[in-house]
């Protein structure tokens, strides 16, 4: 289980996150939605220990973290049990797609798992190409495959569909559901409500660094706060 309590983060004196708490179980998909600048990515970076939060506590499986961290160099990082896929995928440009998705395995490749992941993301045809020789959608799939090859327990996804078209986004979402069914806890960060509503077990609406509303998918149909109502209304107009 991943439990974050009262996570707060200041950047340049400005409070970006204010007491954000979340609890993610195995096999669960939580979507964090909100407008640009609401603190979604900062929250993801905080709970994945890329940028330490200023205050709060975090439990990732057996590992517990109390912030502020006193001795950064002694921190035991939760990777690759917890891993992250970024909005810009950061597929290493000097390696082929195959090398990208197997690099962190240090040669200990579970061939069946590799074949399953390659099949899941339909990657056979471009496995031996370099990142600059494949499409954006293929790079996206490679980034997800790279993280799944590590057999993570928690997968944090930051706007991973933002650069994809509707068809590719739905393909990825279908894959996410399959991944969650295998017991992986997923946090899916997005500003796209229609995508979040399709795959989430829980939805959290973040605005100005605070949780404004949270609950099951129903909150997207029957929002209780004016802020979420407005956000949904604007989103619907755009779609």
Binding site for other proteins (CB under 8 A): 48, 50, 77, 79-80, 82-84, 86, 88-94, 103-104, 130-132, 139, 146-147, 150
Cis peptide before 87 (omega within 30 of 0): no
d(CA 67, CA 154): 20
- For 165, the 3-state DSSP assignment is coil
* Nearer of residues 101 and 172 to other proteins, judged by Cβ: 101
Copy the structure tokens of residue 40: 């979604």
Q: What is the closest distance, in whole angstroms, from the C-beta atom of residue 160 to other proteins in the complex? A: 13
Q: In angstroms, rounded to a whole number, what is the distance separating the alpha carbons of residues 81 and 151?
A: 7
Q: Give the nearest distance from C-beta 155 to other proteins in angstroms.
A: 10
Q: Which is nearer to other proteins, 89 or 205 (CB)?
A: 89
Shorter beta-carbon distance to other proteins: residue 20 or 84: 84
Q: DSSP secondary-structure letter at 62? A: T
Q: Taking the complex as a whole, how short is the minimal distance between the CB of residue 150 and other proteins, in angstroms?
A: 6
Q: Of 157 and 180, which has the nearer Cβ to other proteins?
A: 157
Say if strands 29-33 and 55-60 run parallel, antiparallel, or are unpaired. unpaired
* Sign of torsion over alpha carbons 214, 166, 185, 136: negative
Smallest distance, other proteins to C-beta of residue 225, A:
33
Give me the least distance between CB of 192 and other proteins, in Å please. 20
Q: Could you give the CA distance from residue 37 to residue 159 in angstroms, rounded to a whole number? A: 13
Beta bridge partners of 210: 207
Query: For residue 9, what are the β-bridge partners?
Result: 17
In the complex with other proteins, which residue's Cβ is closer, 92 or 216?
92
Closest to other proteins by CB, 27 or 80: 80
The nearest distance, CB 93 to other proteins, in angstroms, is 4
Q: What are the angstrom distances between the C-alpha of 5 and each of 47, 60, 106, 122? A: 10, 12, 34, 38
How buried is 107 (Cβ within 10 angstroms: 0-12 exposed, 13-18 middle, 19+ buried)? exposed
């Amino acid at each position: 289980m991943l439990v974050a309590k009262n996570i707060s983060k200041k950047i340049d004196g400005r409070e970006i996150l204010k007491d954000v708490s979340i609890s993610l179980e195995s096999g669960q998909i939580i979507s964090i939605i909100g407008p640009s600048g609401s603190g979604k990515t900062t929250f993801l970076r905080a709970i994945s220990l890329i940028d330490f939060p200023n205050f709060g506590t975090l439990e990732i499986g057996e590992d517990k973290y109390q912030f502020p961290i006193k001795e950064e160099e002694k921190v035991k990082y939760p990777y690759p049990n917890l891993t992250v896929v970024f909005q810009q995928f950061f597929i290493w440009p000097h390696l082929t797609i195959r090398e990208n998705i197997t690099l962190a395995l240090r040669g200990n490749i579970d061939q069946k798992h590799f074949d399953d992941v390659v099949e899941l993301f339909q990657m056979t045809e471009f496995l031996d190409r370099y990142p600059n020789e494949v499409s954006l959608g293929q790079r996206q799939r490679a980034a997800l495959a790279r993280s799944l090859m590590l057999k993570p327990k928690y997968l944090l996804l930051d706007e991973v569909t933002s650069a994809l078209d509707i068809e590719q986004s739905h393909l990825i979402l279908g894959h996410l559901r399959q991944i969650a069914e295998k017991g992986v806890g997923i946090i899916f960060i997005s500003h796209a409500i229609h995508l979040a509503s399709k795959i989430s077990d829980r939805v959290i609406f973040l605005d100005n660094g605070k949780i404004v509303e949270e609950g099951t998918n129903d909150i997207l149909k029957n929002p209780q706060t004016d802020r979420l109502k407005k956000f949904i209304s604007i989103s619907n107009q755009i779609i």
